[in-house]
Amino acid sequence: MLIGLLAAGVSISSWADAPKGRVGAATSGPSPVGQTPAALVQQPLPGAPADCAKSVVPGVMARLTAPPDQKQPPTASGARLSKRGGGKAKDDTGGAALSDDPSPTVAPETLSCTKAAAQRYADIADHGGWPPLAKPLKQGANPGDLAILRERLGIEADLGPLPNETARSARWDDALTKALKHYQARLGLRQTGILDATTLRALNVSAADRARELQQSAQRLAVAQTLPFDKRFVLVNIPGAAVEAVDGGSVVHRYTAVVGGNDHRSPQILAKITDIIVNPTWTLPASIIKNEIIPKMVKNPRYLSRMNIRILDGRGREVNPRRIDWSSNEATEYTLRQDAGRKNSLGTLKINMPNKEALYMHDTPTKSSFAQDYRFLSHGCVRVDGVYDLATWLLDGVKGPDGDPWDVTAIKDAVKGDETQTIKLKQAVPVAWIYLDGWESSDGTVHFREDIYGLDQPPAGGPVSLAK
């Protein structure tokens, strides 16, 4: 159907004559998907931010974000943003990419923007969605395949339009590379500028599924509505496996993170960070003792001593591992505590944030995991790449041992001392862990991440249109 439309000269995009900047009314002409105009700038919803929240006009496919050459440059506050941590993206992983955008993932307008985006994507789905792509592509690919790719990128406005004849025969060019990078950036993927396997899978997620992600994320945004958006706070986006340190409405630092896997999901949490623990010990949960420690001790009776884990009875007295029946669950009746040090599973730093789930943020001895695409590996806590830097930011205004402010060097010196110590923050900093796999930022950019926990799956009855 699509190839026939292209051969017949059907327009790949219907906003070819739109002016730069804020796009004007759509040009007339048939859409490659459905039989309605493919683009129209919508009017803002009443009381909603003009840049992001656009209403859906019945019978008209909604316009999404502007193509790369129409985007406004980052605000001056972007100069403050730095990406910390030692993790580097590995080739062909498709991940471990961090955005340079100084805009926080969650801001006062994010909820209304995301609701509006859900309506627009549902409208696109109701008009036929977008064409599937068959295979990865790169420079030198067949122009026919590239025409479909251009159409697909154009529907979400990652790519500006080309004249009909040019679009059907155009080869790979810089504009297509730039558009793919723009799309990859919106999805938190490594910006290769080619249609690799990871990007292909993302592009082939249906418009209806994207609408559902946005709608479900909007519901989950409620947990973050009490954040002090004009002050300091920390945000963990679980599907994005990333941490943001926000101050005065701008992201100051952004960090790669490792969050809970599907068997040990990181929950949504709203809490306050109260203190930093240098050289923490780790008390193992009963579930880890039962499911991981006991099987390892059966295979290797020296495992606990090798990992510097002690067994303590109810009075705090150390118990010889040989006294434990490792063929049973007897070990769960004791406290197992790992000594502070480089082997400690929390690494050398723990960020305390009291909450009923008893979860926290921390360092890790396994730094290589930060460079992986799949960073859903923890037991529910959040491991932070560049945790010393985050701790320094949190300890702003707190004097170190020598009377000077805490910095990364001072924290490293404290770690070398091997002693466990607790450093109180001058003022508790709010922190939110939130599950956002779809959201629209205030500049109109719609972002997606993989629904790693499967929270957005449609009901058993099948997909239902989300359009109003």
Partnered with residue 378 across adjacent β-strands are 260
Radius of gyration for the alpha carbons in the chain, expressed in angstroms and rounded: 25
pLDDT at 35: 29
Residues ≥6 apart with Cβ < 8 Å to 35: none
pLDDT, tens digit, 9 for 90 and up, residues 278-317: 999 999 999 999 999 999 999 999 999 999 999 999 999 9
* CA distance linking residue 220 with residue 217, whole number of Å: 5
For the question of whether the overall pTM of this predicted structure is more than 0.85, the answer is no
Is a pLDDT exceeding 80 seen at residue 370? yes
Q: What is the dihedral sign for C-alpha 241, 244, 250, 253? A: negative
pLDDT at 100: 79
Sheet strands side by side (includes 335-338): 282-283, 335-338, 309-312, 318-319
- Span 133-155, mean pLDDT? 92
CB atoms inside a 10 Å sphere around CB 412: 12
Q: Which of 98, 138, 369, 157 is nearest to 260 (CA)?
A: 369
CATH code matching the domain that covers 240-281+346-434, chosen among 3.40.50.1980, 3.40.50.12780, 1.10.1760.20, 2.40.440.10: 2.40.440.10
* CA distance linking residue 366 with residue 358, whole number of Å: 22
Range from 14-28, 127-141, 364-378, 387-401 carrying the lowest mean pLDDT:
14-28
Is a pLDDT exceeding 80 seen at residue 184? yes
* CA distance linking residue 418 with residue 336, whole number of Å: 20
Q: Cα 67 to chain center, whole Å? A: 22
Q: Evaluate whether 405 touches 397 at the Cβ level (below 8 Å).
A: yes
- Confidence at 54, pLDDT banded by 50, 70, 90: low
Is a pLDDT exceeding 50 seen at residue 220? yes
Is a pLDDT exceeding 60 seen at residue 22? no
**C-alpha atoms less than 13 angstroms from C-alpha of 276 in its C-beta half-sphere:** 27
pLDDT at 466: 37
pLDDT at 321: 95
- Confidence at 200, pLDDT banded by 50, 70, 90: very high
Residues ≥6 apart with Cβ < 8 Å to 229: 104, 106, 107, 108, 246, 249
Range from 39-48, 120-129, 315-324, 330-339 carrying the lowest mean pLDDT:
39-48
Kindly list the domain boundaries of the chain, sorted by start residue: 2-219+439-448, 240-281+346-434, 283-338
- Confidence at 160, pLDDT banded by 50, 70, 90: confident
Q: Which of 90, 133, 111 is nearest to 438 (CA)?
A: 111
Is a pLDDT exceeding 70 seen at residue 65? no
pLDDT at 268: 97
Q: Evaluate whether 384 touches 369 at the Cβ level (below 8 Å).
A: no
pLDDT at 227: 95
Tokens of 433: 């862990």
Is a pLDDT exceeding 80 seen at residue 27? no
Tokens of 230: 């004009």
pLDDT at 82: 53
pLDDT at 144: 87
Is a pLDDT exceeding 80 seen at residue 378? yes
Is a pLDDT exceeding 70 seen at residue 393? yes
Considering the chain, what is the average pLDDT of its residues? Answer: 81
pLDDT at 101: 82
Using a 10 angstrom Cβ sphere, with 0-12 exposed, 13-18 middle and 19 or more buried, the burial of residue 267 is middle
pLDDT, tens digit, 9 for 90 and up, residues 111-130: 999 999 999 999 999 999 99
In the 3-class helix/strand/coil scheme, how is the chain assigned residue by residue?
A: CHHHHHHCCCCCCCCCCCCCCCCCCCCCCCCCCCCCCCCCCCCECCCCCCCCCECCCCCCCCCCCCCHHHCCCCCHHHHHCEEECCCCCCCCCCCCCCCCCCCCCCCCCHHHHHHHHHHHHHHHHHCCCCCCCCCCECCCCCHHHHHHHHHHHHHCCCCCCCCHHHHHHCCCCHHHHHHHHHHHHHCCCCCCCCECHHHHHHHCCCHHHHHHHHHHHHHHHHHHCCCCCCCEEEEEECCCCEEEEEECCEEEEEEEEEEECCCCCCCCEEEEEEEEEECCCEECCHHHHHHHHHHHHHHCCCHHHHCCEEEECCCCCEECHHHCCCCCCHHHHCEEEECCCCCCCCCCEEEECCCCCCCCEECCCCHHHHHCCCCEEECCCEEECCHHHHHHHHCCCCECCCCCECCHHHHHHHHHCCCCEEEEEEEEEEEEEECCCEEECCCCCEEECCCCCCCCCCCCCCCCCCCC
